[in-house]
Amino acid sequence: MRAAFMYGAGDVRIDTVPDPVIQQPTDALVRVVTTCICGSDLHPYHSMPAGEASPMGHEFIGVVEETGGEVSTVKRGDLVIAPFAWSDGTCEFCREGLQTSCLHGGFWATGGIGGGQAEAVRVPLADGTLVKAPVGEDSELLPHLLTLSDVYGTGYHAAKRANVGPGDKVAVIGDGAVGLLAVLSARQLGAEQIVLMGRHKDRTDLGRAFGATDVVTERGQEGIAKVRELTGGHGAAKVLEAVGHMPAYEQAIGVVRAGGVISRVGAPQYEDAPVGFASLFGANITLTGGPAPARAYIEKLMPDVLSGAVQPGRVFDRTISLDQTPDGYAAMDRREALKVLIRQS
Amino acid sequence: MRAAFMYGAGDVRIDTVPDPVIQQPTDALVRVVTTCICGSDLHPYHSMPAGEASPMGHEFIGVVEETGGEVSTVKRGDLVIAPFAWSDGTCEFCREGLQTSCLHGGFWATGGIGGGQAEAVRVPLADGTLVKAPVGEDSELLPHLLTLSDVYGTGYHAAKRANVGPGDKVAVIGDGAVGLLAVLSARQLGAEQIVLMGRHKDRTDLGRAFGATDVVTERGQEGIAKVRELTGGHGAAKVLEAVGHMPAYEQAIGVVRAGGVISRVGAPQYEDAPVGFASLFGANITLTGGPAPARAYIEKLMPDVLSGAVQPGRVFDRTISLDQTPDGYAAMDRREALKVLIRQS
C-alpha cells in the first residue's frame, strides 16, 4: 500500500510499503477513506532531524476490512471513526473517559503501528478504539465526522476542561483548526462572550461563524489589553490555549481573570514555564488541559454533526489525494491552507 | 505600642512605635489578643536583605477598640478574627469568594498597614475584613479560632481547589501546619485515603490524629514510588502541595495520577517550573491553588471549631509573649516548634 512518511524537516514522501495485516485477535484492519493533516504534524515538519522515516497521520475514517477473533463491536464493512489515540476501553482510565492515558493504549505512527495518512491501518484494541458512524463512505458528512478524530474533540476538551458553561466570558488563543473548534465548543456549552485571538481574517471569519463574539488581531501587551477591556477590565474567566508555543502561554497568563482557568490543548513546545506568584499562583489561576480523550467525546458530539446542527468540517479548506500529501504539508506550512483533507481515490 | 519588625535575615526585633490610629471612616482599631508566626514568615527570615525594617505578622484575633464612622458590622468590644488579607467584601472578586484578589484590598504589613505581631493594628475596610467570634478573649478556643486567620483556611483551600470529596485518594506534601490542616480539611471533605508525606514524627503523628491514613517519610523517587504503591499503583488523584519549594513541586508531579489535580498553597519560592508534555500536559494534570481567601472560609469553618468537632489549634506547640517573638522565629527556624502562638499579656 501507499503511505506518507516524514524523513526530516520539510521532507514528506509517499512510499509503497507492505499492506498491514491482523496481528492480534483484538486488531481490526481498516481501509482509510479520508484522513487529514494536523497542525501538530507541522511541529516535526519544522524540526525533525533527517534520518529515519516516520509514518504520519493520526486522524482517519475508514471501512473495516477484517477483524481479529476477539473483536465484537465493529465488523467488516462498517464505516468507523478512529480517535487519535487507541485504547482498550476497559481500564480504569478509559472507564473515566481519559483514554489518552489508557494503560494498554497508544498513539498512531509509533511503536510499530502505522499512521492514518495511508491506504490502510492496523487498528489495535479495535473494540475500545473505533466508533461506527451511521453513514456511507460517500456521505457528505465525512469531513465533519473526521473532525471527531481529533480537532473537534480537542477543541471540545479545551472547553470542557475549562468548565465552560452558560454566561461565561471565554478567550480563545489561536485561530488554527483547534482554536476555531474550541470557539464552536464554547458556544455549544453556552458561553456568552467568546473573544478569538487570531490574525488571519479568513480564519477569524470562520471563528465568527462558529460563535466568536469578538476578534482581537493584536498580539502581546496590546492584544492582552484589548481582551481585558472587552471582558470587563479584569480578563476572561476561561482561556482556551490552542497553540502550544510559549508566546501563547504568556498571552493566556495575560488575559486570564483572577480565579480563572487556562486550558491548554496545543501540545506545548516547551517544558518549563512561569507558574509562580506573579503568573499563576498569586491570582489563583488554574492551569489544565492535555491531549484530548477524543474517544470519550465521539458519541457525545456525533448527533449534532449528523443532524447538521454543527459543521466542524468547515475547517477543511483544501482537499487533496494521498499522493498529494507532501503538497498538503507545504500548503499548511505556508498557511495557504487552514487544514487539508485527504480523500482516497 | 510594641510591634515585631524584621531587619534582615535572622533579625527580628520588638520595637516601640506610635500607636495606630483610625485614618479612614472604614477603619477599625483592633487590640491584638493573640497572634502567631507563619511558616511563610520564615522565607524572609532566611533571605531578607539587611536594611529597612518590615512589620511582621498576618494572623491575629483581637478586640475592637474603636471604629470609623462608616463601619457597621463590628463595634467596640467585639472579639474579631482577621484573615490574612483585608478586603472590601463588596467587589466582584469578594462576592465570588476570592477576597485575596479584592480590587481594593491588600495584605498586612505592607503599604503602611501594620502587622499582626503587634499590640494593635489598624484594620482597613473593617466591614469586609473582620469576622466577629462569639467567645470572650479568655476563651480556650482562641488558638483554634486563630487558625481561621490563615493556616486552617489555607489547608482547606488546598482541598477545596482540588475538589476533594468522598472516596478520594489524596496525597498531602509537607508536614508543616498548613499540610497538617490540609489533612484535616481533606478528612472533613470526605477523603477516603490521605497519604501524608513528611519526616517529622511528632508532626506526622498529629497528621494521623487529623485523619491521615498513611504516612510516607521517604523523599524523592523512593517517596514517589511509595505513594504510588499506596494509592493503587497510578498515584493520588488529588495532591495538596503545602510547602512551596521546587522539590515539593517535583514530588507532586511524581505522585499525581493521570487526570488528577495538584493544588498548591505553599507560596512558590520559584517562578518557572515544568508544565510541558512530560510533567503536566501529557497526563492531563491540573495545576491549581494560590493564596487562600481565608475570609471566605471563616464563617463556614467556625461552627466545627466552636463545637470542638475539630481542633486545628493543635498545630500550636509553643506559646510565647510578644516580647519573645524573636525567640519564636528562631525556634520555628530550628524546627523545635511547629507553630508558635503569641499571647499578649
Q: What pLDDT is recorded for position B185?
A: 98
Model pLDDT, residue B345? 57
| CB burial string A36-55: b at 16+ within 10 A, e below | bbbbbbeebbeebeeeebbb
Could you report the predicted ipTM of this complex, rounded to two decimals? 0.97
Q: What are phi and psi of B297, to 5 degrees?
A: -100, -10
User: Chain A residues with CB-CB distance to B under 8 A?
Assistant: 92-93, 96, 98, 100-101, 161, 234, 258-259, 264, 267-268, 270-291, 293
Homologous superfamily of domain range A2-150+293-343: Medium-chain alcohol dehydrogenases, catalytic domain (3.90.180.10)
Percentages of chain A per state (helix, strand, coil), in multiples of 5: 35, 25, 40
What would the mean pLDDT of A42-64 be, rounded to a whole number?
A: 95
Segment A93-120 mean pLDDT: 96
Contacts of B279 in chain A (CB under 8 A): 271
The two domains A2-150+293-343 and A154-289 share their CATH topology (first three levels equal): no
> Is the Cβ pair B284, A92 closer than 8 Å?
no
Place of cell 504568556: A250
Residue B109 pLDDT: 94
User: In this predicted structure, what is the pLDDT of residue B243?
Assistant: 95
The size of chain B, in residues, is 345
SS3 call for B51:
coil
B17 burial type by CB count under 10 A (0-12 exposed, 13-18 middle, 19+ buried): middle
Cα distances from B237 to residues A259, A280, B212, B228, in angstroms, run 21, 21, 16, 10
Task: Reply yes or no on whether the pLDDT at B118 is more than 90.
Answer: yes
Q: Which residues of A touch B275 (CB under 8 A)?
A: 268, 271-273, 275, 287
Please give the Cα distance from B107 to B127 (Å, whole number): 16
Strands A169-173 and A193-197: parallel
Q: What is the mean pLDDT of residues B147-156?
A: 98
Whether A53 has a pLDDT exceeding 80, the answer reads: yes
CA A338, A339, A343, A344 dihedral sign is positive
Confidence of residue A305 (pLDDT cuts 50, 70, 90): very high
In this complex, the residue of A92, A267, A277 whose CB is nearest that of residue B277 is A267
Pull the grid cell for residue A257.
481573570
Query: Where residue B113 falls among pLDDT bands split at 50, 70, 90?
Result: very high
Nearest-neighbour CA in chain A from B237: distance (Å): 12
**Mean pLDDT, rounded, for A213-232:** 97
Of A98, A278, A279, the CB nearest to B259: A98
Q: Mutation test of the interface with chain B: which of A100, A287, A295, A297, choosing the one with the most B Cβ atoms within 10 A?
A: A287
User: pLDDT tens, B264-304?
Assistant: 999 999 999 999 999 999 999 999 999 999 999 999 999 99
**Interval B21-34: pLDDT, tens:** 999 999 999 999 99
Q: Mean pLDDT over residues B224-231, rounded?
A: 98
Check residue A344 and give its pLDDT.
Answer: 84
CB-count exposure of residue B28 (10 Å: 0-12, 13-18, 19+): buried
Letter for the amino acid at A172?
Answer: V
User: Cα separation of A184 and A181, whole Å?
Assistant: 5
Average pLDDT over residues B213-225: 97
- HEC per residue, A248-288: HHHHHHHHEEEEEEEEECCCCCCCEEECCHHHHHCCCCEEE
Q: How confident is the model at residue B108 (pLDDT cuts 50, 70, 90)?
A: very high
CATH superfamily of B154-289: NAD(P)-binding Rossmann-like Domain (3.40.50.720)
Q: What is the mean pLDDT of chain B?
A: 97
Residue A5 CA to residue A53 CA, distance in Å, equals: 6
- Rounded to a whole number of angstroms, the distance from the CA of A318 to the nearest CA of chain B is 30
Residue A7 pLDDT more than 70? Answer: yes
Q: Each residue of B82-94: pLDDT tens digit? A: 999 999 999 999 9
Q: What is the DSSP letter of B277?
A: I
Angle between helical axes of B294-307 and B151-161 (0-180°, round to 10): 110
Give the per-residue pLDDT at B268: 95
Rg of chain A, C-alpha, whole Å = 20
- Residues in chain A within 8 Å Cβ distance of B98: 258-259, 284
CB contact under 8 A, A290 and B280: yes
Give DSSP secondary structure letters for A70-83: T--S--TT-EEEE-
CA distances (Å), B158 to each of A104, A259, B183, B214, B301, in order? 33, 14, 10, 19, 14
pLDDT reported for residue B186 = 98
pLDDT digits (tens, 9 = 90+) for A157-199: 999 999 999 999 999 999 999 999 999 999 999 999 999 999 9
The Cα of A273 is separated from the nearest Cα of chain B by a number of Å equal to 5
Q: What's the whole-number mean pLDDT along residues B42-59?
A: 94
- Tell me the residue ranges of DSSP E strands in A70-168: 79-82, 85-86, 106-107, 120-123, 131-132
Residue ranges of the domains in chain B?
Answer: 2-150+293-343, 154-289
Distance from CA of B278 to the nearest CA of A (A): 7
pLDDT of residue A51: 86
Q: Of the candidates B32, B28, B9, B19, which has an alpha carbon nearest to the alpha carbon of residue B342? A: B32
The three grid cell numbers given for residue B322, joined into one nine-digit string: 510578644
| Separation in Å, CA of A54 to nearest CA in chain B | 20
Of the partner residues B98, B271, B284, the one whose CB lies closest to the CB of residue A278:
B271
Whole-number mean pLDDT of chain A? 97
Q: What are the E-state strand segments in A167-213?
A: 169-173, 193-197
Cell 485575596 locates to B100
DSSP code of residue B115: -
Residues A35, A63 contacting (CB under 8 angstroms) = no
Rounded distance between C-alpha atoms, residue A76 and residue A31, angstroms: 10
Q: Residue A345 above 60 pLDDT?
A: no
Dihedral, A145, A244, A217, A146 alpha carbons, nearest 10: -10
Instruction: Say whether A150 sits in a helix, a strand or coil.
Output: coil
Using CA atoms, how far apart are residues B36 and B117, in angstroms rounded to an integer?
7
Crossing angle for the helix pair A201-210 and A177-188, nearest 10 degrees? 20
Report pLDDT for A233. 96
